Amino acid sequence: MTITRRQALAAIGAPAILKRALAAGVQLDITQGPFQGTRESLRAWKVPDWYRDAKFGIWAHWGPQSAAEYGDWYARNMYIQGNRQYEYHVKTYGHPTKFGFKDVIPTWKADKFDPEHLIALYKKAGAKYFCSMAAHHDGFDLWKSAHQPRWNAVAIGPRKDIVGLWKKAAQKAGLRFAVSEHLAPSYHWFSTSHTSDKTGPLAGVPYDGADPAYADLYHELPADYPYGQRINDRQAPDPWKQHYFKRIKDLVDNYQPDLLYTDGDIFFEEYGLALVANLYNTSAKIHGGRAEAVYTSKLASDCETGTCVLDWERGVAGGIPANPWQTDTCIGDWHYNKEAKYKSPKSVIDMLVDIVSRNGNLMLNFPLPNSGALDDQELKILDEITKWMAVNSEGIHATRPWKIFGDGPVASAPQSGRGTRFNESSRRDFTAEEVRFTAKGNTLYAFVMGWPEKQAVIKPLATTGSATPTKVRNVELLGFKGKVRWTQDDKGLAVQMPEQQPCAHAITLKIAV
């Protein structure tokens, strides 16, 4: 049975305002090419080899919410009385009835922003693609947006084409270029700007988001909008869906990204599917008919067959998924927070190796402060990653999973076979008991996730216990110029360690099989 969108919304009890303004038969013009904006058509898409080989990307989750340097979702939370960001905003800028997010935007200066310098650092650290945030839930575009002419980074704030400058620097350095968009939920996410204090001298006085003069930033919400109710981001009036489609299509048409990260799944069905098809067709037009671009979704059913790459926000997939996938995470908060506690270099490297062993990619955010220059602690973390990659990157880039992803107490634990988003908080640093594997042709890379005492024993390479045991022909230790002594028997591959550790954190055994 086929039901209309109107019937579907009515069935789930959508608020009255969301039952209105549902337009039928919307025409969505997209770049012509091998894909149509349908699920059936998009199933023919395949993950390009460049992405499977890349393994590691770096992301700048950076925009006007970074101006306050006080963490993620600042534009929403500054309008929630009692929230720590509300309290900070009142103390730092003034009350949001008088100084709202529209007034924060001009304080985002990016006065020390040097994209070529940053991209050079990221490339040296082993990143093969770079992602620029293009539009967050705050409704602000980081390019010269045709459909958000007043609230974009060229018109106000830095007065620079942030996306364009990042792309130019990435291309010059030979990195693939990605953009992230978080726009679809904005219609509901930003509704806090239309509310008011519940207590105190300004109780009931609307915040600046209720001023119709700024509806192009804060949205025009109808009088019967259901404030205080949890609303599914997939429910929104069709005019907003059309506006969302136009803005993201404008982004793709102008910057032809190699990867489009969407913060969620394929939004608004035909609108989102048309955007995916437009991305792939734009790429095919550039690459001789081959769709070299990647779209990411956080909904597994979107990516079951072709269509997109599944993204696990702050999480790691279980086992070895058949399809390539991605983790996006951050060394601290998403938007820059001067009070944030960062991940250690070891935890980042442990996560990278674990993800790659499971057929995944890591896209790691280094949040930039207001100025656009990495802080000292971020530079130290990046430098540690760089030093480690200089020794071990051949076991990361252009590899594929082995027959098992790893061995050790964590790998053998029941939960290692199951993955969930946001599971990284339960992770602990790996020890020398933990091993992860990648492969490249007849070469197996075994990452020993700590410095073992005297010898490393790789149990899955035992000469017995398997119908087809792996015969080892030679062993090298990456970063060590001498020969290592090794034996293979029914207990595994035993490799004697030299006196000096070749690198900090995980070490890599290069095994010819």
Q: What's the Cα-to-Cα distance from 305 to each of 39, 42, 228, 258, 296, rounded to whole Å?
A: 10, 9, 38, 20, 13
Rounded-to-integer distance, Cα 492 and Cα 508, Å:
16
Residues 359 and 262 in one domain: yes
pLDDT at 416: 57
Determine, yes or no, domain membership for 85: no
Nearest to 139, CA basis, from 101, 107, 111: 101
Residues 473 and 349 in one domain: no
For the beta carbon of residue 444, count every other beta carbon within 10 angstroms. 25
pLDDT at 24: 43
Rounded-to-integer distance, Cα 249 and Cα 96, Å:
33
Residues 147 and 51 in one domain: yes
Give the strand order in the sheet containing 455-458: 455-458, 492-496, 486-489
Phi, psi dihedrals of residue 176, rounded to the nearest 5°: -70, 150
Determine, yes or no, domain membership for 199: no
pLDDT at 21: 36
pLDDT at 228: 78
pLDDT at 372: 98
Nearest to 458, CA basis, from 410, 407, 498, 416: 407
pLDDT at 6: 34
Tokens of 179: 């953009």
Rounded-to-integer distance, Cα 511 and Cα 442, Å:
9
Determine, yes or no, domain membership for 9: yes
Rounded-to-integer distance, Cα 322 and Cα 52, Å:
12
Q: Which of 377, 395, 413 is the last residue of a domain?
A: 395
C-beta separation of 181 from 262 below 8 A: yes
pLDDT at 453: 86
Determine, yes or no, domain membership for 409: no
Tokens of 200: 């105190």
Determine, yes or no, domain membership for 469: yes
Rounded-to-integer distance, Cα 423 and Cα 411, Å:
15
Residues 348 and 468 in one domain: no
C-beta separation of 360 from 372 below 8 A: no
Taking the alpha carbons at both ends of the chain, their separation in whole angstroms is: 55
Q: Specify the CATH number for the domain of residue 390.
A: 3.20.20.80
Number of structural domains the chain divides into: 2
Residues 473 and 383 in one domain: no
DSSP string over 147-159: S-SSSBTTTSTT-
pLDDT at 17: 38
- 378-384 contact pairs (CB < 8 A, 24+): 378/331, 378/342, 379/121, 380/345, 381/331, 381/342, 381/343, 381/344, 381/345, 381/348, 382/121, 382/122, 382/125, 384/345, 384/349, 384/504, 384/505
pLDDT at 177: 98
pLDDT at 22: 38
- Helix, strand, or coil here: 362? strand
Q: Specify the CATH number for the domain of residue 507.
A: 2.60.40.1180
Q: Which of 395, 415, 446 is the last residue of a domain?
A: 395
Residues 391 and 434 in one domain: no
Residues 377 and 317 in one domain: yes
Residues 170 and 37 in one domain: yes
pLDDT at 26: 65
C-beta separation of 429 from 346 below 8 A: yes
For the beta carbon of residue 21, count every other beta carbon within 10 angstroms. 13
Residues 442 and 390 in one domain: no
C-beta separation of 57 from 130 below 8 A: yes
Determine, yes or no, domain membership for 410: no
Q: What is the mean pLDDT of each run of 10 residues along the chain (513 residues)?
A: 34 38 64 97 98 98 98 97 98 98 98 98 98 98 98 98 98 98 97 97 98 97 89 92 98 98 97 98 97 97 97 93 97 97 97 98 98 98 98 98 96 69 73 97 98 95 87 97 96 96 97 97
Rounded-to-integer distance, Cα 86 and Cα 207, Å:
12
Let me know how long the chain is: 513
Determine, yes or no, domain membership for 224: no
Q: Which domain holds residue 445?
A: 430-512
Determine, yes or no, domain membership for 181: yes
Give the strand order in the sheet containing 443-448: 406-407, 435-440, 443-448, 507-512, 474-477
- Helix, strand, or coil here: 267? coil
pLDDT at 3: 31
The residues with which 507 forms a beta bridge, in sequence order, are 448
Phi, psi dihedrals of residue 213, rounded to the nearest 5°: -65, -20
SS (H, E, C) 165-222: HHHHHHHHHCCEEEEEECCCCHHHHHHHHHCEECCCCCECCECHHHCHHHHHHHCCCC
Rounded-to-integer distance, Cα 100 and Cα 78, Å:
8
Residues 458 and 389 in one domain: no
Residues 390 and 462 in one domain: no
The helix (run of H) or strand (run of E) holding residue 363 is: strand 360-365
The residues with which 262 forms a beta bridge, in sequence order, are 181
Residues 337 and 384 in one domain: yes
List CB contacts of 54: < 8 A, sequence separation 6 or more. 128, 129, 176, 361, 397
